[in-house]
Structures are given as C-alpha cells and as structure tokens.
A and B are shown apart, each in its own frame.
Chain A
Amino acid sequence: MSQQCIFARELQFNIQGKLILDINTLSIKHGERIAIVGHNGAGKSTLIKLFTGFMSCSSGNLNVLDRKMDTFLSSEALRQLRKEIGQVLQGLHLVARLTAIDNILIGSLGRLSGWKSLAGIYPQEEIELARQALHAVGMNLNAETRADKLSGGEKQRVAIARMLMQKPRLILADEPTAALDPGAAADICELLVKSAQDATLITVVHNTALLPVLAQRVIGLKAGRIAFDVPITDVNEQRLQSLYDLDPIGT
C-alpha cells in the first residue's frame, strides 16, 4: 500500500468543451484531514464525484486508493472502490420509507451478496454493527423510527452511521452541514472528525468557521484551479476573501 490516498496529475475535466476542473498536481496522504473551499461552481463537487467514479476525468491521471481512475474501470471494480469510500452528502439522502437502522444497514451492502441482501434480511453481526454505529453517532432514539420522521441533524447522523458501517479508508463529505442549523452543523463536524480517526477525511465546506474543526490542510479552488493548498494555520481572512472575490456583485 502506497502512502498516497489520492494522487492527481494534469487532471482535466470538461463538460461540452467547457473546462470545469484543471488541476496540475494534487496529492493527499493517508490519514490527512483536508477541507476544500471555493465559490459555487468552482468544481468542488465535481472533484468529489471524480474520486468516486460517478464521473470520470477527461484527461490526466487520477489515483484513488491505489486505483487508476482515468482508465476504464469495470462496474465491479468501481463497486470495490466505493466500498472503501464513505460518503456524506449535503442533501441528507436517506431512503425515506426505511427505518433508521435499515438505512444504516445499507452501508453493509457492499460486502453482502445473494438474495438475502435483496430481501432486506441482514446477518445478525451486521445488525449488531449497525446498532453500535447508531450508538456511536449519539442517537438516543428508536432505531425503528422511519427516516422521513427524523430531523435534519438526526438524518445526517444516520447518514454518518451508514458511512461508519462501510469501515471506509477514505471519507468524502460534500457540504455535510449545508442543510443544518449552526448548532447541528458544529456537532456533525465534530462527529465526522471523530469518525475519521482511522481514515482520510476530505470535506467540502462553505462555512469557513468550521475549518479549524475539520481540517489540518485547506485547499482553495477557484474556477476549477487550485488557488491555494496550505496548512490550516496559514488560512486567513485575506486568502478566503480572494477566493470568493470572483463574483463582483458580492452578497
């Protein structure tokens, strides 16, 4: 196993001739905690999608967890990769009609096969793991509560528990707090960092106040290019200001 968790060189991604991402080099080591910041449309979410193979880059090299992403990856290889990547998304996406515990158990689907996994029958040890995951994210509610009855913060906790079920080596969180109130956002960030003790954590984040909690290293994306890539100690108002300055009207 190499030291690199993610390595990209001369990575380009375009949609219909429009350059969305243009990254010269990017290297992320195992166990790092990274935050990606940037304005809307800077290419943050696209980058995350390239890491998981939901999109593939137009040219250049990208290695994720020792797999070459720029060649054609079979769907089986992609599934093997995704098993090792835990994702937490901004949209609080749970399967609404399933219970909290069933949503968490979905995290184990990557290592299960056969008709039982299709019928929603999970092995006892997985159910035990799911209970532990639910406990680990600090949920004191009934595991049988349906997902659409949960609050935003609870949904995101369940989503993190689902991710914990995967025992991921790499955790990608795309604006995990976007749909949450400030209090819940801080809790979720702390939980994410706690959950990522044995993994690499890459978070896309808008709220710069959360940076010190989430990251040791901050990557600023501006119009698809890396504007800065510095330790958290070097991040200041000025740097962030220049990053968001693209929009002349401001907010």
Chain B
Amino acid sequence: MQLTDRSAREANSARKNGFIALTITYFLLVAACLGTLVAENEISMGRNPFENLIKTAHDFIRPSFVDVWFGNPRLEYRSDDGRILRVENRQEVETRHIEAMARATWTTIRIATLGSLLAALLALPLAILSAGNLGAPKLLSLVAKGLLDISRSIHTLVFGLIIVGIIGLGPTAGIFAIAFHSMGTYGKLFAESIEALDMGAIDAVRSVGATPEQVFSSAVLPAVLPQFVSSHLYVWEFNIRDSTILGIIGAGGLGQLITEAISLFQWGRLSTVLIIVFLLVTSFDMLSRRIRESLL
C-alpha cells in the first residue's frame, strides 16, 4: 500500500511539474510574439485613431435603411459651379438597395443550407470509416481520418478561392467551399457520436436474435440520430455565419454587399448589412438551440 501511495504521489508531482513547465512555455511564447512585433515596430494604432474612430462610428450610427423613410427625397448633386448634375430620391434608392439585400440574404441562406447538407452527406461515410469502434479496415480508416483532417485544416475562404478559380464565380463555388471545409467538422462530430454508442446495448439487441437491420433501427439509430441532427444544426448555424463572408471572394450573397460597402466607404450600408447578419445569425442560433435542447 505504501509503495502505491508513493508512486501515486510521484505521478502527481510529475503532473504538477509538467503543468508548470507548460505554463512557462506558454508565457514565453506570448512574450516572443509581442516582443518581436514591438521590435519590428508593428505595434501601432495608426496616426489619428480617435478621429478615425469617431468618424467611422458617426457613419455607422445611421444605418442606410433608415433612409427608406427619412432619406432626402430630392438629393441634388451639384458641380462646383452650382449646376445640378443629378437629382436622387434617397428613399427610392435605399428601398431598392434593401430589396438587393433581401436577395443577398436569401443567397447566403441557400449557400449555407446546401453547403452544410452536402458536407454532412460527404462526411457520413468518412465518419463511419474513422470511428474507432466499428472496426473498419485500418488503411481505409486512416485515409478517412486524413481526409477529414485536411478538410478541417483548410479554411472555407481558401477552399472558396481555389474553387472560384476552377468553376468560376457564383453561389455554386460558395456551396462547395462550405461543403469541403465543414465536411471535416461533421466527420469529427459524427465519429464522436458513433464512438459514444453503448456497444453493450447493441449486443443486447443482437442477442435476442434481431437481424442486422433491426439492430440498426432499434439500437444504433435511436442513439446516434439525435446527435447527428444536433451536430447538423450546430454546423449549419456556423455556416450561416461563415457564408456571409464568402461573398468577398465572389460567391455572392451578403458578403458581396459587405465588400461593396467597404470599398465605396458606405459605412451606413455596411451597418445595415451587419445588422442583417446579426439578426440572421441570432435568430438561427435561437431556433437551432431550441431544437437541439428538445432532442436531448
């Protein structure tokens, strides 16, 4: 007993030392990151950050959509000598822009939805192969794990840029970009739910003489289906957020409006788009959380 006590104590103190070493390494890394950036003179807030901040904030405070009701119905653009070049009805212009935003929102939702579904379908066989408890052939399981790791480590935007180069601009590229990156996330989540299966319960159902199909439907499916649905909602929700950025590389949708607004310094419009993104993501998040909770 004494012997085991001592070895337990030794193991414990070794663990403690390891943790201290890790903590020191972490702070050394932080110091190295900060120190080298300071040495390269890369830590700076620009020339007049406060002025810029106030200017940007001022534009942001008035999102473009309020112009639908309060915009100047007769905004006159004049040349330097006072001639009227163009008259614009701001209310009309912004109404049209809101319509464009609605279409872009719908595009974003479509990219996220189809991309997520494609990702889940691609991931399912790979997850089954890579799950440790189903006994897939070693080589296949390694290949599946490798594919999932690669897919997870490459960002959606990078996939997007590559795919836009291959199939051209448009939502299809966005769908594939989402699908190829999310496949890795789905694969990992699916494999984890499969690995968490109660194999004893499965054996218990097998032991009553059930056919493999009956075992699947009455023991495997009830255990993994809620998990799968929950993972699907989670990644789908994540992709709604992710696909808003895909427009930047030409996949269309809200991201395109973000890029446009930024390049034209239309902070009011950017503000509107961000409000839409916020509402979209939050409402989807609320919906999916409620569904996931009811599945538990």
Point out residues on A near B: beta carbons under 8 Å.
52, 54, 75, 78-87, 89, 91, 93-98, 102, 106-110, 112-113, 117-120, 159, 162, 165-166
Chain A nearest CB, measured from B202 CB (Å):
8
**Consensus secondary structure, chain B interface:** helix
Number of contacts between A and B (CB, 8 Å)?
85
**A95 contacts which chain B residues (CB < 8 A)?**
198, 201, 205, 218-219, 222-223
**A120 contacts which chain B residues (CB < 8 A)?**
217-218
In the complex, 22 of the A-B residue pairs with CB atoms within 8 angstroms, ordered by the A residue number, are A54-B206, A79-B209, A82-B206, A83-B209, A84-B209, A95-B198, A95-B201, A95-B222, A96-B198, A98-B218, A107-B208, A108-B208, A109-B205, A109-B211, A109-B218, A113-B211, A118-B213, A118-B214, A119-B217, A120-B218, A162-B204, A162-B208
Q: Is the CB of A94 within 8 A of B201?
A: yes
Q: Which residue from chain A places its CB closest to the CB of B204 in the assembled complex?
A: A93
Q: Is the CB of B204 within 8 A of A89?
A: yes
**A108 contacts which chain B residues (CB < 8 A)?**
208
Q: Does B226 contact A (CB under 8 A)?
A: yes
Q: Is the CB of B210 within 8 A of A106?
A: yes
**B201 contacts which chain A residues (CB < 8 A)?**
93-96
Contact check: which of A89, A97, A113 meets B222 at CB < 8 Å?
A: A97
Q: Is the CB of A80 within 8 A of B204?
A: no
**B219 contacts which chain A residues (CB < 8 A)?**
95, 106
**A82 contacts which chain B residues (CB < 8 A)?**
206-209
**A117 contacts which chain B residues (CB < 8 A)?**
214, 217
In chain B, residues 187-243, which have Cβ atoms closer than 8 Å to a Cβ of chain A? 198, 200-201, 203-214, 217-219, 222-223, 226
Q: Is the CB of A93 within 8 A of B203?
A: yes
**B198 contacts which chain A residues (CB < 8 A)?**
93, 95-96
Chain B nearest CB, measured from A80 CB (Å):
7
**B217 contacts which chain A residues (CB < 8 A)?**
117-120
Name the interface size band of chain B: 20 to 34
Complex Cα gap A119–B222 (Å): 11
Point out residues on B near A: beta carbons under 8 Å.
198, 200-201, 203-214, 217-219, 222-223, 226
Q: Is the CB of B204 within 8 A of A159?
A: yes
Q: Which residue from chain B places its CB closest to the CB of A168 in the assembled complex?
A: B208
Q: Which residue from chain A places its CB closest to the CB of B206 in the assembled complex?
A: A82
Chain A nearest CB, measured from B104 CB (Å):
40
Q: Is the CB of B205 within 8 A of A98?
A: no
Q: Is the CB of A110 within 8 A of B226?
A: no
Q: Which residue from chain B places its CB closest to the CB of A147 in the assembled complex?
A: B201
**B204 contacts which chain A residues (CB < 8 A)?**
87, 89, 93-94, 106, 159, 162
Q: Is the CB of B214 within 8 A of A109?
A: yes
**B223 contacts which chain A residues (CB < 8 A)?**
95-97
Known: A97-B223, A98-B218, A118-B217. A91 touches B200 (CB 8 A): yes
Q: Is the CB of B207 within 8 A of A87?
A: yes
Q: Is the CB of B222 within 8 A of A98?
A: yes
Q: Is the CB of A79 within 8 A of B211?
A: yes
